[in-house]
Amino acid sequence: MGLLFGTDGIRGIANTYPITCEVALKTGRAIGLFTKEKGHTAVIIGKDTRISGDMLESAIAAGVASTGVDVLLAGVIPTPGVAYLCLAIKNAGAGIVISASHNPYQDNGIKIFKSGGEKLSDKQEDKIEEYILNSKKVSQGKVGKISIISDSLKQYTDFLLTKFPFKKLDKKLKLIIDCSNGAASKISHMVFNNLLFDANFLFDSPDGKNINKDCGSQHTKELKTRVLKEKADIGLAFDGDADRLIAVDEKGNEISGDRIIAVCAKFANTNGNLNQNIVVSTIMSNIGLSKMLYNEGIQHLKADVGDRKVLEQMKKSGAVIGGEDSGHIIFLDSHTTGDGILSALKLLEVMIETDKSLSSLAAVMQIYPQVLKNVNLPASYPDLMRNKMVVDTIQIIEDKLGDKGRVLIRYSGTQPLLRVMVEGPDQGLIDEYCVLICESIKTVLKDEL
């Protein structure tokens, strides 16, 4: 990661560095130059529903246009919708999404896709960051045109639905859909339409400040209540930019990303559609996913945290299904990036084709109890993974867990934190084990600093 780019673009509090109009203008200019160098003539800009989105959109668009590159405004659209447009519009050299995903409305961010709909490589991010920070000058002359893609949502809806020729059922599946007052608010009505489904919608009235507020993929309490009250077949919760999906089964149980991956992987494998017989997840995925895939004869590869790392591993191995427990799931035979609405359609396809309830399908994977604690780190600190006390404590706990659990220690990529995760068959024990590891780390920090 550089000075501006984190694990998923540039992110921060809107109107505070680096999410300012000044940086947005320079970012637009940098992406315009990047686009010209690649021989393309246009950049697509999409956004979620945050109040700061219009402000940042204007600044980024001005920056792009100042390089002589045209700007195509897609309006409020899911992040994977911009990725699709980068693939569909031939002269598009990049796509920019103004969103802070599942964060509160005060935050915002800038995500970038290259031509073809994939996220930038680390080297490409470094190059754009260099342009931004050094304010590479633009030769005077041609100015790009800024125009609106009036049918961006229709184009994206058609792309999604043509991949799923759902048969009209005698009895439509009853859906409750939480749009998180975000980018899914309008397009969800178009995709999950009444010709195919009996759908009711929650949190689909964005006002610029209510995105992700007590709703969406990270706050499913209201969705669970409505699924039970309405006797729905399934609940679907998206995050602010609709690239994540968390489901709720007909019994009101939350079905997170790992179990959605498990359900879809088993279905694909049964039907001969799991290329290379491989599934990719991250090192943070529940141990239950590994055991389920092993039992199904499916190879399980683990990438570092982040959807870009998952995608890299998928492309190397030829896998077509991968993702994170957070609900960011990639179906590489259908799209170039993680897509919450696409994931929902894939899950519904399994339910329809197998004629099974979500609870029965999700039972294929046992969830192991997991606890995650953070240890705050000072500005400077020793290499804790080389300290004998810490290493010995971890080894003792790993020996006690055996093959029924695991310990994972990792430094945060965005904050001064050490994350300690313990997983095992008993919640009480893993809580105790996690505290022991954290205390050993704190003792070392206290003694050595």
CATH classification code of 370-448: 3.30.310.50
Is the domain covering 156-252 a CATH 3.30.450.20 domain? no
- pLDDT of the residue at 97: 98
* Long-range contacts of the stretch 162-168 (C-beta < 8 A, 24+): 163/334, 163/342, 163/345, 164/345, 164/348, 164/349, 166/196, 166/348, 166/349, 166/352, 167/352, 168/195, 168/196
Q: Closest Cα partner for 66 from 3, 135, 128?
A: 135
Instruction: Report whether pLDDT(142) > 80.
Output: yes
What does the alpha-carbon distance between residue 374 and residue 356 come to, in Å, rounded to a whole number?
A: 39
Instruction: Report whether pLDDT(407) > 70.
Output: yes
Q: Which of 52, 66, 99, 101 is catalytic?
A: 101
Domain segments of the chain as ranges: 10-152, 156-252, 255-362, 370-448
Is 217 annotated in the active site?
A: no
Instruction: Report whether pLDDT(147) > 60.
Output: yes
pLDDT tier for residue 444 given thresholds of 50, 70 and 90:
very high
- pLDDT of the residue at 431: 96
Domains 10-152 and 156-252 alike in fold: yes
H or E stretch covering 287 = helix 287-295
Is the domain covering 255-362 a CATH 3.40.120.10 domain? yes
- pLDDT of the residue at 306: 85
- pLDDT of the residue at 195: 85
Q: What is the pLDDT of residues 3-51, one digit of tens each?
A: 899 878 999 999 999 999 999 999 999 999 999 999 999 999 999 999 9
Is the domain covering 10-152 a CATH 3.40.120.10 domain? yes
Instruction: Report whether pLDDT(237) > 60.
Output: yes
Q: Mean pLDDT across the stretch 315-320?
A: 97
The per-residue pLDDT of the chain, averaged, comes to 94
Q: Closest Cα partner for 122 from 326, 313, 309?
A: 309
Q: What is the pLDDT of residues 343-365, one digit of tens each?
A: 999 999 999 999 999 999 999 99
- One-letter identity of residue 13: I
